[in-house]
A and B are shown apart, each in its own frame.
Chain A
Amino acid sequence: MDLTRRKLLKMGMLSVCGTMIPLGALEIFKPEALASSLVHPYSQKKRWAFVVDTTKCVGCGMCVKTCKLENEIPFDAEVQRTWIERYVLTKKGDVLIDSPHGDRYGFTKNDPEGHDLKDEDTLKGFFVPKLCNHCEKPSCVQVCPVGATYKTDDGVVLVDRKWCIGCGYCITNCPYFARFFHPVFNTAEKCTFCYHRISKGLKSACVDACAFGVRKIGMLNDPDSEVFKIITTQRTAVLKPEFGNEPHVFYLGLDHIVR
Chain B
Amino acid sequence: MNHAWRPLILIVGLAAVLLTVRMFLVPSDFMAKNGDYKYQWHRVGNEKFWRDEFTVKHKGREFCKQCHEDKIELVADSGHARVQCENCHVMFNPEKKGHPVDLKADFGYLLDIGIDRSRELCKRCHSKLPYRPKEFTSLTKGIKPFNMIDPQEHNPGEECVDCHDVHRTGFK
Contact = CB atoms under 8 A, between A and B. Distances in A.
B52 to A, nearest CB: 7
Interface stretch (A13-21, A35-43, A63-71): A63-71
A75 B92 contact: yes
B124 interface: yes
A160 interface: yes
Interface in A199-249: 199-200, 202, 205, 208-209, 211-213
B96 interface: no
Residue picked from A104, A141, A150, A197, most chain B C-beta under 10 Å: A150
A108 B46 contact: no
Nearest to B82: A211
B43 A158 contact: no
B39 A108 contact: no
Interface in A126-182: 126-127, 137-138, 141-142, 147-153, 158, 160-163
A213 B129 contact: no
Contacts of B137: 56, 212-213
A192 B125 contact: no
Residue picked from B55, B58, B92, B132, most chain A C-beta under 10 Å: B58
A147 B30 contact: yes
Contact of B131 (A69, A126, A150): A126
B120 A119 contact: no
Nearest to B94: A75
A108 B151 contact: yes
Given A163-B43, A163-B46, A66 B120 contact: no
B34 A153 contact: yes
Contact of A211 (B84, B90, B130, B131): B84
Nearest to B119: A108
Contact of B124 (A56, A108, A163): A108
B5 interface: no
Interface in B128-151: 129-133, 136-138, 146, 151
Residue picked from A151, A192, A196, most chain B C-beta under 10 Å: A196
A200 B40 CA distance: 22
A105 B124 contact: yes
Nearest to B59: A202
A58 B129 CA distance: 9
Nearest to A147: B41
A68 B54 CA distance: 14
Contacts of A109: 127, 129
Contacts of A127: 131
B147 to A, nearest CB: 11
Interface residues of A, number: 57
B123 A106 contact: yes
Contacts of B129: 59, 107, 109-110, 125
A160 B46 contact: yes
A200 B129 CA distance: 38
A213 B84 CA distance: 12
Interface in A65-121: 65-66, 68-70, 75, 88, 104-110, 119
Contact of B83 (A152, A163, A211): A211
B87 A66 contact: yes
B124 A141 contact: no
Contact of B46 (A66, A106, A110, A162): A162
B90 A69 contact: yes
6 contacts: A58-B133, A105-B124, A106-B120, A163-B43, A202-B60, A208-B60
Interface of A: 55-62, 65-66, 68-70, 75, 88, 104-110, 119, 122, 124-127, 137-138, 141-142, 147-153, 158, 160-163, 192, 195-197, 199-200, 202, 205, 208-209, 211-213
Given A127-B131, A211-B80, 9 more contacts: A66-B87, A107-B129, A108-B124, A151-B39, A163-B46, A196-B50, A197-B56, A200-B56, A213-B82
